[in-house]
Structure 1
Amino acid sequence: MASPVAENATHYSASRGIMQRLRSLPGKLLDTLAIFGKKLAKIAKDDPRRVTHSLKVGLALTVVSLFFFLRRLYDSFGDNAIWAVMTVVVVMEFSVGATLGKGLNRMLATLLGGFLGAAVQKLSTLSGEKEKPVLISLFLYIIGALITFMRFVPQVKARYDYGLTIFILTFSLVSVSGYRDDQILDLAFKRLSTIIIGSFIAIIICVFLFPVWSGDDLHNLLASNLEKLGNFLEGFGTDLQPKHSERSFAKEYESVLTSKTREETLANFARWEPCHGQIRFRHPWQRYLELGNLTRQCAYKAEALDVYLRSLILTSNQVGISIKDSCQSASLECGKALKVLSSSVKSMTCLTSTTAKARVAKAKRSIELIHSLLRSEPYWEGVELTEIVAAAAVTSLLSDVIICIESIIEAVDELSSLAHFKRTVHSPPVTATNSKLQPLAREGILKPVLESHELRYCAVTINDGYSSTLTKEIAKVLHP
């Protein structure tokens, strides 16, 4: 058994530890609050519109609460006025498009669901008391199953999923509740009125007080992605040192590679928005999504180019040193072309298509210099097979990047036409001798191979003995 002295010492140390924790608790609490406050400040600094949105929600709730504070309004709607408050909380979203989408979905779904539920209630009443529950159950089964199945249609789910859910809820509420309550129609009318009023309050405040347009966000997002990709490609033309290669492409440009979901969400909200600024009725939002897909394809090819180009040049072998200047020049021109396109999209002007094509033409000439170098037979003497394969891989990837940029140029031209971009009085000079985009096919030792009129890879032929072996090596490099 432990002695009384030992037990007292144990209790004393435990009590002392508890007292120390209690004394340190206020300091820890203050530190936690300080960290939380810094996070809130950072969120507000990153996008001040979030603060504005919070204030708008508070204003909407204050306005809708007048249904309870003003006696005349409360006498007209009674306790059903709470549905106006609930509607504001549910409908009020960050952007105008999201708020309009939810508000219109809720109003129309409540109206149609209530009307159909009342019609089913009336029809079942005419059939007799015994048949009434059978008919209500039958209509519930058919309409509930049909509307639920419609929610699986991608186009319907993207824009009307919330409305279909509210429709099922309202229809079930009216049709089932009417079996026991004869005053359900009057109750449904009052709830419908308060829901419409709450939706209009949310929409009006969201549209007319510091509106946030999803269409503008999508527009700026695509322009920003093009600029980021252009900066990345320009980096090849200015810095290919080992310290620069430590930056991960996926980390530095994660927003470019993972922006598909956000673009689709913004495009869905933008379709609900009215005309504003240069955004017109039936704006070609689908073209924005196509441009975003092309940008991501180019980004993935640029990521692969980053790996092969640095591994080739940084090893300081003969091939890498020989093609370094041409690769840097091609990458630099590709980056400038993308930044020109970014500026065009961001400002919604049609002044940069010819300039971008001129940049692409310069990049092609740099690729042609690499072709000419690799076609020179004395160049292959004393060169290892792996170096030749790496050079072929880099050439193919650069060609793929150029082809992607050509597609982006065409997409921007089409978008500028459909979206009615502004046209400048003075067009920029065309520095290229031929603005028509030509394929990068050349005859010789280094030959691009076309599949369905698109450049996929390069076949290199040194002599009959090495041809098949080298083709396999290139396939491993390009398709690991």
Structure 2
Amino acid sequence: MESTHVISITNNEEENVDHNKEKNNNNKTFPFSPSFPTIISHVKEKKFNMSFVPIFPSFSHLSEQETKNIIHSIKVGISLVLVSLLYLLDPLYEQVGENAMWAIMTVVVIFEFSAGATLGKGLNRGMGTIVGGGLGCVAAILAQKLGGVGNSIIIGICIFIFGAIATYFRMIPRIKRRYEYGVMIFILTLNLVLVSVVRDEQQVWEIARDRLLTIVIGFIICISVSFFLFPLWASNEFHDSTHSSFQHLVNAIQGCLEDYMRFADEKENEATNTNFTFCKTLLNSKSKDELLANYAKWEPLHGKFGYSYPWQNYLKIGEVNRELAAIILVLGRCLQTSKKPMELQSWSETIQVIEPCFEAIGSNIVWSLKELGESMKQMRKIHASQISTKLKASRAEISMVVKMIISTSKKISTSMLNNNDENNNCYDDDASLAIASFLFLLKEVVNKVEELTKVVEQLGDIAGFPTHIQL
């Protein structure tokens, strides 16, 4: 049996990190992809502090998310001021006229929290406007040539056909996920162009051209502010949330094992203090992960993330993490039902014998998850062979404990039957069942960590993570 000890994990744990090595890891980029230039991009590294602004001295105590919210609000305000100059400055207003309203609408509807979301929505709006406006102009010109009743008939038929087809494509999952807004803008633009030419004698092409120009102006303002003024990248948020989930899972597993052994100690009789809040939150994170992955796919080359970065593999990692979180929650529930059986005197000797086994199992699982989390954080390949060795050792320890539990259960049952103590025999069955359930769930945790290892290893191969060299 391998002699190891449980690694103590806390949320405020401080690790000694080689600063030169950390600097080198931060400079890694996705293979064959240059870095996207930005004016300031330190928000994700927690280097930004609003206290340097004299008029906002109290912002220094805000959390990272609150700081990002303030930054986003300021950026939206700046964009609205810039686009309003089309109305406020006479030379600009003389060029665009009332069509400046379309630029303001563009800023309001496409400026999102992250750069990827803003770019994706802006491109969707642009594509929808161009395609919808182009088809609308062609149909409108054809309707104008027919004139009279034929004009209204052609317009009505075009609205019905294109509107119905676009709505059908909008419901296709793949299109809905990335291009739903573009399809909606296509329908809107097509209808606006077609119905406007019925009552407006101005040339169709002039209407489409002027409105498209102002939309492009609004789009350029949004992208410029979003990308070059404290950019908030969805890819960074998705990457950080993924690798941080490993540490939270480590804390939950560590707490489960410590609580279980505390329940087994007759000197302690306390309630579970393990925090399962993150596990419950993680179970509901699928929609958020899919949204961040979609936004990240729109973002250009920047930092450590390049073109066609495998965000789909991050979704796979998130799926396995959610399954692991579900097992941990059941494991925590098992602790509540295991308390009374653990107080039985007949099991105290066996519990003391198997305690080192639980320590070895917990140590191996904790080390494996921490290794996976660190490899994700540093974007390096994992030590797959070492993790496999640790997990194999954990299975061996679990098998050993199972054999000991079976042997002890038989001895206790035989002794109680000989003494005609049927009531205590029932309690003994409950105790053995509780321990067996805990061991089964613990084995499922090991299996899930092994599956997680394969998914992370696959990500490293596809993304081209460098091999980590220990000095």
Is the pair's TM-score, using the shorter chain for normalization, greater than 0.5?
yes
Residue 462 (structure 2) pairs with residue 418 (structure 1) = yes
CA distance in 2, matches of 1:324, 1:49: 46
Residue 156 (structure 2) pairs with residue 137 (structure 1) = yes
Residue 221 (structure 2) pairs with residue 190 (structure 1) = no
Code of the aligned partner of 1:408: L
CA distance in 2, matches of 1:66, 1:367: 70
> 1:347 matched to which residue of 2?
378
> 1:81 matched to which residue of 2?
100
Code of the aligned partner of 1:353: A
CA contact 1:225–1:255 (8 Å) conserved in 2:
no
Code of the aligned partner of 2:157: L
> 2:450 matched to which residue of 1?
406
> 2:390 matched to which residue of 1?
359
Residue 406 (structure 2) pairs with residue 386 (structure 1) = no
1:60-459 matched pairs, under 5 angstroms: 60-183=79-202, 184-240=204-260, 241=262, 243=270, 245-247=272-274, 249=276, 251-309=277-335, 311-312=337-338, 315-317=342-344, 318-319=346-347, 321=351, 323-376=354-407, 379-382=410-413, 384-426=428-470
CA distance in 2, matches of 1:153, 1:143: 16
- TM-score, normalisation: structure 2: 0.77
User: Please, which moves more after superposition, 359-368 or 319-328?
Assistant: 319-328
CA distance in 2, matches of 1:206, 1:336: 40
> 1:15 matched to which residue of 2?
none
CA distance in 2, matches of 1:161, 1:365: 51
CA distance in 1, matches of 2:253, 2:63: 32
Task: Tell me how far 1:369 sits from its aligned partner.
Answer: 1.7
CA distance in 2, matches of 1:53, 1:41: 17
CA distance in 2, matches of 1:203, 1:265: 19
SS in 2 for 1:381: helix
CA distance in 2, matches of 1:352, 1:361: 14
Task: Tell me how far 1:269 sits from its aligned partner.
Answer: 0.6
User: Please, which moves more after superposition, 392-401 or 379-388?
Assistant: 379-388
CA contact 1:313–1:324 (8 Å) conserved in 2:
no
CA distance in 2, matches of 1:378, 1:281: 59
Residues 378 and 151 of structure 1, relative CA distance in 2, 3 Å threshold: closer
Root-mean-square deviation (Å): 2.5
After superposition, the C-alpha distances for 1:150-180 in whole angstroms (9 at most, x for unaligned) are 1211111111111111111110010111122
Task: Tell me how far 1:377 sits from its aligned partner.
Answer: 7.0
CA contact 2:380–2:460 (8 Å) conserved in 1:
yes
Q: Which has the larger radius of gyration?
A: 1
Code of the aligned partner of 2:429: L
> 2:53 matched to which residue of 1?
none
Code of the aligned partner of 1:203: I
Residues 87 and 304 of structure 1, relative CA distance in 2, 3 Å threshold: same
After superposition, the C-alpha distances for 1:26-71 in whole angstroms (9 at most, x for unaligned) are xxxxxxxxxxxxx999876643111111121122122222212333
Residues 248 and 44 of structure 1, relative CA distance in 2, 3 Å threshold: closer
CA distance in 2, matches of 1:127, 1:139: 14
CA contact 1:96–1:273 (8 Å) conserved in 2:
yes
Task: Tell me how far 1:310 sits from its aligned partner.
Answer: 5.1
CA distance in 1, matches of 2:250, 2:387: 12
After superposition, the C-alpha distances for 1:345-392 in whole angstroms (9 at most, x for unaligned) are 111112443343333233223202213313537853336222222222
Residue correspondences, number: 389
CA contact 2:252–2:274 (8 Å) conserved in 1:
no
CA distance in 2, matches of 1:378, 1:253: 33
CA distance in 1, matches of 2:282, 2:452: 15
Residues 380 and 125 of structure 1, relative CA distance in 2, 3 Å threshold: farther
The structure, 1 or 2, with the larger RCO (C-alpha pairs under 8 Å, 6+ apart) is: 2
CA contact 1:84–1:195 (8 Å) conserved in 2:
yes
After superposition, the C-alpha distances for 1:386-417 in whole angstroms (9 at most, x for unaligned) are 22222222221111111101000000000111
Using the aligned pairs only, state the percent identity. 34
Residues 236 and 331 of structure 1, relative CA distance in 2, 3 Å threshold: farther
Task: Tell me how far 1:246 sits from its aligned partner.
Answer: 4.3
CA distance in 1, matches of 2:171, 2:59: 38
- TM-score, normalisation: structure 1: 0.75
Task: Tell me how far 1:330 sits from its aligned partner.
Answer: 1.7
